Structure 1
Amino acid sequence: MFLLVLISAEQVVSQNFEGKVINAATAEPVINARIENPATGTIVFSDDAGNFEITIEDFPAMLSISGIGFENLEVEILNAEHHGVFYLSPSLENLSEVIITSTAIPGRLQDLPASVSLVSASDLKRGDNTNLVEKFNNVPGMYVNQGALNTNKINIRGIGARSQYSTNRIQSYFDGIPLTTAEGELTLDDIDPENLDRIEVIKGPTSSVYGAGLGGSVNLFSALPKSLKTEAAFKSQVGSFNTRKNVVRAVHATTNAAIHANYSELTSDGYRDNGEYDRQSAVINARLQTSEENSLSLLATFTKLKAYIPSSLNEDDFLNNPQSANGNWEAARGYESYDRGMLGASYLHNFSENFSNTTSVYLSFRDAYEPRPFDILKEERVSAGARTRFNLELLVFKLPSQVSFGAEYYNEWYNGATFENLFREYEDQGSVMGQRLSGNEQDRNYSNFFGQMNLELSEKWMLEAGFNINSTQYSLNDLYAQDEIDQSGDYRFDLIFSPRVGTTYEVSPGKNFYGTISHGFSTPTVAETLTPEGLINTGLQPETGINYELGFKGNWLENRLYTEFSAYSIRIEDLLVAQRVAEDQYVGLNAGKTIHNGLEFLVNYNFNLTPGISAKPYLNAAFNFFEFDEFVNNDQDFSGNKLPGVPKSTLNLGLNLESDLGLDLFAGYRAVGKIPLNDANSGYSEKYQLVNLKASWSFDILRDLGVNFYAGINNVFDEHYAASVLTNAVGFGGAAPRYYYPGNPRNYYGGVQLNYIF
């Protein structure tokens, strides 16, 4: 009877708890996830659908959930009825196991026949976190010209290097919401790194997935809590040039919902004259598991910016007076200011285990005002669109395969006007608005239809093929009749078909070779299609290119060492050239062809120095052989010359040391080669080397209150260098051309962050 009573009591107390483990990046079930009850030592594994069942004796109870390639998750189970879905986030430290979600069909990084780079959450924490785009300089094949906090140009494998003042020819999305305008321009420097979990960069033409992305795509993913908790955090940072940054963050997560809210403000006087910067930004994102088959994601952002512009310098001022601003920009107190926001929602529905759909809708706006020495620009932009994608797993010729297909529509309304700047008539007052000089209204839209199939030819060999069909059109309504030039008109580009084919082969476990051929394009902006007479140049063609690439991805030393190598050749035709016809006017023309040949490699290594200290060194480099194949401009033949605006080579070397005591150290070294300044290659910027250091210490003051102190030095050896160059600069009125934007000298920063878990 005593034994029967004990058995009955055990049955009463012990209960079976059921749950499901989901990949937080793809919403697919995690197979063979390990679920452990530390109190009893019981261990079970999830099945093919991600489901599991485990015995729990006493509630509440803690469960530890883990999986290969995922970050560990600790969850508190309140009672047996506390059924829920548990999300595991891919570990970005184990690169080969990371699931890439920005491709048409999500897959492991190592299995993708494409060059994809990751900027992880730990990568984002390196440095002072005042400028997001600076992080891309650590990605092989990318280079950022940094003129100021608000003056940046990104190029991927040389695509976009000849842009004058902004980034173009690169597609970018924030949680699936387009950041690139309908004209192809991109601004990322006003996004706070504090809001991001990771960034996925696909290098080379990505038109088969995203349409007009000749250079590649940059996909940002917002931060969501990775464990079930409620937390509030405050961060305050100060630095050289009177730079200050404050961040307030709150997160809350349950088994079926998660929300993240972040507010930040950043101000700085800047190293150079007329370089003040003031930005406030807020982000709210959430995810709700509405049922076992469905989930809803929401994103809302708002940014308010006012940033003065010191502009570029000639060689003499760059060498002898680098902290100065250009005289006209300083006299006009030139700056840019805008309010920018976006709102988006994405809904995932699983029709079955093998068939799903993700549909996103979004709305964004930008209201801008920019006084320049030559005029004052006022702009308004409102954009809206939708994107839907179906993913299906099936058998094709009895071979396992995955199919993705869908469509995207994007519409943008734009209103712009310029006015006289009377700053010369009102001395020491800065910019003063005069009469209207121009005004126009534009309606721009494009549609993409895309599809892709992945076919598993064998356990080791996979074939991938995809395509995109793009339709782009715009209408221009000239609202300014006083100049007697009517620029109104409609224009539609021919349908563009962009195919892609790739293959990957596993030569041994953890070691894959891949090859790919892909097509890309970029359409001219409205301004580029206007002739000097103000008429639409209907003969202007989109810039197109084909990328040929071979590469290798491999794990070594029991997955502690990860390596990548790629060799590529991009052939660009109908090269779009911005021909400068006045100080503030550029006219586009198709002037020739370029060849972008390059080599890239990456090495990441994780190991333990001692039982309590881990080391994470990395090395990556890019060697660029970019030149004009055929290029004749203004009767000058530049064929065979090097492409301006791109360094000959870049090298990054770094080391992270992390200890169980909470003390972390980072040291980074960057070497940048010479950069041609113009198409004629008559001048080059000097090569330079930078060393950056950072140390941080995290510990708990109380059980639920943690603190992190950190400090760092940028440009340790006070290198004098050009952080950005203005390609093909022209000196007007006999003035020397202004090619250079000086980089910051040695500078310091430090801060503190408090985290409280409720």
Structure 2
Amino acid sequence: MRPLFLLFLCSCLLCRAQNQDSVKNDSITQLDEVILLDALKTKNATGITKSDVIAAKVFQNYSPVEMVSAINQIPGVYVLSGALNTNRITIRGIGSRTAFGTDKLRLYYNDIPVTDGSGFSTIEAFDLENISQIEVIKGPKGSAFGANLGGAIILTPKEALGVSTNLSNNFTVGSFGLLKNNLSFNHFDGKVRVGVQYGHLETDGYRENSDFNRDGLLLNATYMINQNNRIGLLVNHVDYKAHIASSLGITAFTENPKQAAANWAGVEGYESNKYTILGINYRHNFGKKLENSTSIFYTYLDHFEQRPRPLGFLDEFTNGYGIRSRFIGNFDFLNRSAKYTAGFEWYKDHYNWSLFETLQQPENGSLQGNEFADNSELRSQVNTFGTLLLPITEAFEVQLGLTINKTQYDFQDLFNTGINNKSADRTFKAILLPSLNLAYELSEEIRLVGNVSRGYSNPTVEQTLTPDGVINPDIAQETGTNYELGTEMYFDQRRLHINLVAYQMDVRNLLVAERVAEDQFIGKNAGKTKHRGIELTIDYLWDINPNFQLSPFLSYTLNDHKFIDFVDEGESYSGNPLTGVPKQRRTAGVQLRIFTNFYWNISHRHVSEIPLTDSNTLSSEAFTVFTTRLGYQKKLTDKFTLGADFGINNIANESYAESVLINAGSFGGEPRYYYPGNPRNYYGSLRLGYRL
């Protein structure tokens, strides 16, 4: 029996994230950049550092709104999504105990770091339709990308494929008032490359008080000065407003998951954001053996949040700026080519936030009252890094890496004066983060890789402050050591691809967010955790005949994450499962192509129970969600193409929690652990393309 049939049976239960190329990029795929299989994929993680790259083939399993679903197809990576504007990315359990948002990893957009000075990243600021690929480095082994415990995510914006000038528009409508439009212009003439995308998204949302409205503009341009010099410009601006439904207790979640939390609904709570990235990149080749890439960048975030009592209105803005430079070279070593990178990344931002009283109205939400807090914090980070890749033999390679991090916070209380002033600074000692990668090729089809690396995580703003709003001098950086062993295998003339990885990460000085009010957390270092797991991806490409192609895929994650030494408020939780991490996750499906014009993809995602309390007395329920998408595209003339897509999410109308909070407090009511997932919903897209 061909391996396909066995894999097909397995794929009904499990999942996948890696892909293979099988069709060349013709004028259709260049024109509207919707590709039946992956476009050519590149990795920014140089050398033998293992990373996962997903692109068009994975994106095509989901709606144009679903960046989170695409990322969730990567084993070891789990995004808990409470709403389009409320996402928490965890990698191998790192970040699972963060209350809201994503920290403990570095997010890059076209080699520009977009993680703020306290370590928070905002994936919802980016439009999936403007992304050509997403690369994920799991764990601290990416020396050139921060060596954070969670790793790094690198987003690459779209650009023209080959010498061409293309204009395309993709219009999507769907359930819950979904309307999305993406207009894209791409040009490349061999010297000038320009990509401009404008996107608009609006939806009423499934839940009450969950309206979302976003506009975004992306400009990505490069100019080839000559063969050795290239300059690039990146501008990304996003403006969105999102109402907040917040989490629910078990009674509300069971009886009416559509409702919003009463306190947020009562004030019609929302957040609005204006987010801008501006970057200039210059690349220079010194010769065949050395090149440099240097970027200077500026980021700006203007955030306003209308919140219920006692939280108060939040008004904040952040100005960030920095420089990142990498030298990439090679030299002769044992009659082979050895490679190295060396560089630095300096980032500084100025974060300002003020709080105002929430004045309740009988109707139409709330009013902004008097200011009761005004704070400012200067945050700076310097990462110096280097890697050295040595080919010991034809089959055996060794890569050494080192990152040195230096972090400083300077907090200013601008509201209180005199003896009540709480201004202070916190400077962490420089931390050394080494990495060792090994790779051995048993044959052309089987490759073994291994890694030992050290990583860190900085405390967030809330974690550096005490309940009185004073810098905590005792808070320390979270550190950990990662051990990893994996294999990549190809069989059946490279049509069957299997990737298997086992890892263990030991984390010390665990940063714990202790909830002291409904939306107030403080941090402390409390013990150790052990993160162990197995990650498996399988995909098979079966060309049944020139007009019929079947590609099943599978991705599976098995987690064994535990507290090793954890005592909180006199209670010992040592030996308990790590809060916020499911034991198992799987995604599986089949992609079908008939001729070159029609495709049909079906997949499912399964998530097991998630511990919600450190005492392990409460867990969320497991769930399985099925998704399908089919589409057709046709080259009408040499210049025009037409495409149409239709998709169904949550086919079986499963009731489940798409995201959860851990250790939720009651504060006079039922603890609110659950963010309801969307019920069965539909979407359809119409795509027009024109080649100038």
Indicate whether the TM-score tops 0.5: yes
Contact 2:141 2:452 in 1 (8 A): no
Cross-structure match for 2:325: 388
Map residues 150-549 of structure 1 onto 2, 5 A cutoff. Answer: 150-206=85-141, 208-211=143-146, 213-373=148-308, 374-396=311-333, 400-423=337-360, 426-481=361-416, 485-549=420-484
Deviation at 1:396, TM superposition (A): 3.9
DSSP-derived class of the 2:124 partner: coil
Over 3 Å counting, the alpha-carbon distance change for 1:660 and 1:744 in structure 2 is same
Cross-structure match for 2:3: none
Contact 1:207 1:520 in 2 (8 A): no
Deviation string, structure 1 residues 132-176 (Cα, Å, up to 9, x no partner): 222111110011111111111110000000111111101110001
Deviation at 1:293, TM superposition (A): 1.3
Deviation string, structure 1 residues 634-658 (Cα, Å, up to 9, x no partner): 1110101111111110111111112
Q: Which structure's CA Rg is the greater one? A: 1
The letter of the residue matching 1:738 is R
The letter of the residue matching 2:679 is P
The letter of the residue matching 2:453 is S
Choose between structure 1 and 2 for higher RCO, CA contacts under 8 A separated by at least 6 residues: 2
- The CA distance in 2 between the partners of 1:70 and 1:134, in whole Å, is 24
Cross-structure match for 1:673: 608
- The CA distance in 2 between the partners of 1:608 and 1:69, in whole Å, is 12
Cross-structure match for 2:4: none
- The CA distance in 1 between the partners of 2:596 and 2:534, in whole Å, is 40
Within the alignment, does 1:100 sit opposite 2:35 as a pair? Answer: no
Cα RMSD, aligned residues only: 1.9
DSSP-derived class of the 1:168 partner: coil
Contact 1:92 1:120 in 2 (8 A): no
- The CA distance in 1 between the partners of 2:635 and 2:446, in whole Å, is 41
Residue correspondences, number? 665
Deviation string, structure 1 residues 267-293 (Cα, Å, up to 9, x no partner): 111000001010001101022221111
The letter of the residue matching 1:286 is A
- The CA distance in 2 between the partners of 1:250 and 1:113, in whole Å, is 34
The letter of the residue matching 1:390 is F
Contact 2:501 2:536 in 1 (8 A): yes
DSSP-derived class of the 2:144 partner: helix
Q: Higher mean Cα deviation, 620-629 or 198-207?
A: 198-207
Deviation at 1:399, TM superposition (A): 5.0
Deviation at 1:757, TM superposition (A): 1.0
Map residues 48-127 of structure 1 onto 2, 5 A cutoff. Answer: 72=24, 98-101=41-44, 103=45, 105=46, 107=47, 112-114=48-50, 116-127=51-62
Within the alignment, does 1:727 sit opposite 2:662 as a pair? Answer: yes
DSSP-derived class of the 1:508 partner: coil
Deviation at 1:120, TM superposition (A): 1.0
Deviation string, structure 1 residues 168-197 (Cα, Å, up to 9, x no partner): 101110001112111011110231111111
Cross-structure match for 1:144: 79
DSSP-derived class of the 1:138 partner: coil
Within the alignment, does 1:743 sit opposite 2:677 as a pair? Answer: yes
Contact 1:369 1:377 in 2 (8 A): yes
Contact 2:634 2:641 in 1 (8 A): yes
The letter of the residue matching 1:137 is N
Contact 2:49 2:141 in 1 (8 A): no
Over 3 Å counting, the alpha-carbon distance change for 1:304 and 1:752 in structure 2 is same
Contact 1:121 1:196 in 2 (8 A): no
- The CA distance in 2 between the partners of 1:127 and 1:168, in whole Å, is 25
> Which residues of structure 1 form unaligned runs of 5+?
1-67, 76-88
> Which residues of structure 2 form unaligned runs of 5+?
1-19, 28-32
DSSP-derived class of the 1:581 partner: strand
Contact 1:623 1:650 in 2 (8 A): yes
- TM-score if structure 2 supplies the norm length? 0.93
- The CA distance in 2 between the partners of 1:314 and 1:94, in whole Å, is 42
- The CA distance in 1 between the partners of 2:629 and 2:443, in whole Å, is 39
Cross-structure match for 2:8: none
- The CA distance in 2 between the partners of 1:73 and 1:254, in whole Å, is 17
Over 3 Å counting, the alpha-carbon distance change for 1:207 and 1:390 in structure 2 is same
Map residues 530-679 of structure 1 onto 2, 5 A cutoff. Answer: 530-679=465-614
- The CA distance in 1 between the partners of 2:587 and 2:465, in whole Å, is 41
Deviation at 1:74, TM superposition (A): 7.3
The letter of the residue matching 2:243 is Y
The letter of the residue matching 2:358 is N
- The CA distance in 2 between the partners of 1:548 and 1:152, in whole Å, is 28
- TM-score if structure 1 supplies the norm length? 0.85
Deviation string, structure 1 residues 583-629 (Cα, Å, up to 9, x no partner): 23211100000000000010121121222121221111000001100
Within the alignment, does 1:700 sit opposite 2:635 as a pair? Answer: yes
Within the alignment, does 1:757 sit opposite 2:677 as a pair? Answer: no
Cross-structure match for 1:713: 648
